[in-house]
């Protein structure tokens, strides 16, 4: 499955009776591909094809090797050759569909998936049931790939695969992946399916590695490491387990152990260009931006042309505040990257690069586009909003924060930021709504009540209803005495100032008005309100009035 929650997953099995005379070598290539030793696997398969260029299965597995290594054009060439030399072999038809699906050509992909299944079930082809099951599984993987997976179609296909062959551990692994993709908040089903796969193939590290990844995604790094430990004990040469454990150690901020595991990953993939690309990515993840950039420069100087490296190079340059080079690098990256393979973080980093040049408004717009992409983290809306705020584009900030509050990942402070931005944008009804939501979550602190008070001041510009009064009172009630005389003094002053004018103009209770103005003067924050309150105390209406109690009930 590619470009979603389980990247670099190979769901193929060397079935007895399916492979041809080069079975042992093909099986070795499959193992190497699963272990992310892509160059060595492709070397074996190309050697087989030099001997027998009409071997459709070898073309398929070479295509899988490229597909898992993010080289879709090379994968497509191999699948096409496989269909050309043996059109009755169904797997290459499924492979063609997978490439088309990842490229966003959904209708064409579905046609190829249908052709693959038709070929597999055509009685004239006499396709073994295990190969029919594998074809369904490949189709399922296709539907589950790319930036816009179709989980329901993927689930239907993998269930069909299991119906044809209930002993295939790869089908249960894939079903677990699909289930996890459908509902990332519930890991129980996927974990059970990975256990089933382990029971069916006790010598395989893959299902344990997958369990580790599920725990890692749930940020249970200790549990993930336990699973990776088990996987490595079963298959000490299974490189993805070391990479996964490295990333879990990184999650725990144990960078020394993380780098140690990645060193082991590199040893297992000695000489592998793909491994070095992944290591450059890892160095970026552990915030070693300069070493990552140096490694990328070294690889590029040897002639490595890899757009993933260009992506990470741009990310590193943004993190190092190299605005000029970051923009140039990311522009070059986008010029080569197919639109369907652009991911949210690409536009996020482009936005950050733009922000380094001082164009905060354009940065916000770029990150808004990123946030709206499939599978994007809704937190991107908050980042976009922050750039709009810097650019004083408060209306756009409101739109960004509203999008976040409409997402499936709403936090308490989202309402805080929405309320503040809406107030600055003059969208007082939105601000009042946002602060109401904030108060529901934080009823015991004053900021939400003060926010509602300010919003209602905006909704009552001519002071005809004085509707902000109860919220200013609530704000004062929620303030601790030490806050009123300390860090919240200006906020307290704002509330007292309003209540003073309410008593002066609305109820004409001049003694109470004088009390509030004296309280403002006593806070002595040095603001314009302080001066106005002092002036009110000296006015002809109040200077000879004895103050009355203005305590809150």
Name the band, by pLDDT with cuts 50, 70 and 90, for residue 146.
confident
Nearest to 323 by CA among 278, 355, 290: 355
User: Looking at 131-135, 236-240, 426-430, 476-480, which range is the least confident one?
Assistant: 236-240
Q: Is the pLDDT of residue 513 over 80?
A: yes
pLDDT of 184 reads 84
Query: Residue 474 pLDDT > 70, yes or no?
Result: yes
pLDDT computed for residue 24 by the predictor: 55
402, HSE (Cβ side, Cα atoms, 13 Å) = 12
Write 23-27 long-range contacts (CB < 8 A, 24+). Answer: 26/57, 26/58, 26/61
Q: Which of 251-260, 414-423, 438-447 has the lowest average pLDDT?
A: 251-260
Which range, of 165-179, 239-253, 275-289, averages the lowest pLDDT? 275-289
Please state the three-class secondary structure of 36-59 as a single string: CCHHHHHHHHHHHHHHCCCCHHHH
Quote the CA–CA distance of 134 and 82 in Å, as a whole number: 16
What is the mean predicted confidence (pLDDT) over 458-469?
97
CA distance 176 to 194: 6
By the 10 Å C-beta count (0-12 exposed, 13-18 middle, 19+ buried), 86 is classed as middle
pLDDT of residue 421: 98
Q: Is the Cβ–Cβ distance between 196 and 166 less than 8 Å?
A: no
Predicted confidence band of residue 374 (pLDDT cuts 50, 70, 90): confident
Closest residue by Cα to residue 206 from 235, 183, 181, 180: 235
- Total length of the chain: 553
Give long-range contacts, CB 8 A cutoff, 24+ apart: 426-433: 426/394, 426/458, 427/395, 427/398, 428/455, 428/456, 428/458, 428/459, 429/455, 429/459, 430/398, 430/402, 431/455, 431/458, 432/456, 432/459
At residue 18, does pLDDT exceed 70? no
Q: What is the mean pLDDT of residues 294-323?
A: 93
Confidence of residue 7 (pLDDT cuts 50, 70, 90): very low
Q: Which residues contact 395 (CB under 8 A, 6 or more apart)?
A: 425, 427
User: Cα separation of 348 and 355, whole Å?
Assistant: 11
Instruction: Check residues 323 and 510 and name the one with the higher pLDDT.
Output: 510
pLDDT, mean of residues 272-282: 85
Average pLDDT, the chain: 91
Hey, how many other C-beta atoms are within 10 angstroms of the C-beta on 433?
19
pLDDT at 217: 85
pLDDT of residue 39: 87
Whether pLDDT at 14 is above 60 = no
* Tokens (6 digits) for 407: 């997402």
Q: Which two tokens stand for residue 268?
A: 């297992």
Instruction: Read off the pLDDT band of 12 (50, 70, 90).
Output: very low
Q: Does 3 score more than 70 pLDDT?
A: no
pLDDT tops 90 at residue 469: yes
Report which listed range, 181-190, 248-257, 434-443, is most confident: 434-443
Stretch 343-372: mean pLDDT:
96
Q: Say what the pLDDT of residue 87 is.
A: 94
Position 370 pLDDT exceeds 90 = yes
Q: Which of 39-48, 94-103, 464-473 has the lowest mean pLDDT?
A: 39-48
Task: Band the pLDDT of 2: cuts 50, 70, 90.
Answer: low
**Residue 162 Cα distances to 130, 140, 165, 263, 304, angstroms:** 10, 11, 5, 38, 41
Tell me which residue has tokens 């290459």.
92
392-396, 446-450, 495-499, 549-553: least confidently modelled range: 549-553
Residue 504: what pLDDT? 97
Q: pLDDT digits over 213-235, tens only?
A: 999 988 899 999 999 999 999 99
**135 pLDDT exceeds 70?**
yes
CA 382 to chain centre: 13
């Amino acid at each position: 499955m590619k470009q979603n929650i389980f990247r670099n997953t190979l769901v193929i099995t060397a079935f007895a009776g399916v492979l041809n005379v080069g079975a042992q070598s093909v099986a070795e290539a499959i193992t190497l591909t699963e272990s992310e030793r892509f160059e060595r696997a492709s070397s074996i398969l190309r050697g087989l094809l030099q001997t027998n260029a009409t071997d459709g299965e070898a073309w398929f597995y070479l295509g899988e090797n490229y597909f898992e290594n993010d080289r879709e054009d090379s994968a497509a060439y191999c699948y096409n050759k496989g269909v050309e030399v043996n059109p009755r072999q169904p797997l290459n038809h499924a492979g063609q569909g997978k490439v088309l699906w990842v490229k966003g050509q959904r209708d064409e992909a579905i046609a190829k998936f249908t052709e693959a299944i038709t070929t597999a079930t055509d009685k004239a082809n006499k396709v073994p049931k295990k190969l029919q099951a594998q074809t369904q599984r490949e189709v399922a993987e296709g539907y589950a790939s790319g930036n816009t997976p179709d989980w329901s179609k993927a689930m239907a296909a993998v269930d069909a695969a299991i119906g044809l062959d209930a002993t295939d551990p790869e089908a249960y692994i894939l079903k677990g992946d699909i289930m996890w993709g459908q509902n990332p908040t519930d890991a129980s089903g996927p974990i059970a399916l990975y256990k089933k796969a382990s029971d069916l193939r006790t010598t395989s590290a893959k299902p344990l590695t997958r369990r580790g990844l599920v725990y890692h995604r749930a940020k249970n790094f200790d549990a993930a490491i336990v699973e990776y430990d088990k996987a490595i004990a079963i298959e000490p040469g299974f490189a993805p387990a070391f990479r996964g454990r490295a990333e879990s150690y990184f999650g725990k901020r144990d960078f020394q152990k993380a780098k140690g595991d990645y060193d082991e990953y590199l040893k297992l993939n000695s000489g592998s260009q793909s491994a070095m690309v992944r290591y450059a990515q890892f160095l970026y993840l552990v915030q070693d931006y300069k070493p990552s950039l140096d490694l990328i420069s070294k690889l590029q100087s040897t002639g490595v042309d890899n757009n993933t490296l260009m992506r990470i190079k741009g990310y590193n340059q943004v993190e190092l505040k190299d605005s000029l080079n970051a923009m140039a690098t990311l522009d070059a990256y986008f010029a080569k990257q197919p639109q369907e393979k652009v991911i949210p973080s690409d536009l996020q980093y482009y936005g950050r690069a733009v922000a380094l040049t001082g164009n905060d408004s354009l940065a916000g717009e770029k990150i808004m586009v990123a946030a709206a992409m499939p599978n994007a983290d809704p937190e991107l809306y908050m980042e976009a909003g922050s750039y709009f705020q810097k650019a004083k584009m408060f209306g756009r900030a409101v739109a960004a924060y509203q999008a976040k509050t409409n997402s499936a990942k709403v936090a308490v402070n989202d309402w805080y930021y929405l309320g503040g931005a809406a107030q600055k944008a003059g969208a007082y009804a939105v601000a009042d709504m946002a602060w109401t939501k904030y108060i529901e979550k934080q009823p015991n602190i004053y900021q939400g009540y003060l926010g509602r008070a300010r919003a209602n001041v905006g909704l009552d510009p001519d002071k005809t209803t004085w509707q902000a009064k109860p919220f200013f009172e609530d704000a004062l009630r929620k303030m601790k005495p030490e806050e009123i005389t300390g860090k919240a003094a200006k906020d307290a002053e704002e509330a007292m100032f309003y209540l003073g004018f309410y008593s002066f103009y609305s109820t004409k209770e001049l003694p109470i008005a004088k009390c509030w103005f004296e309280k403002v003067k006593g806070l002595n924050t040095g603001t314009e309100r302080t001066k106005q309150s002092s002036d009110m105390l000296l006015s002809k209406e109040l200077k000879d009035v004895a103050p009355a109690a203005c305590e809150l009930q």
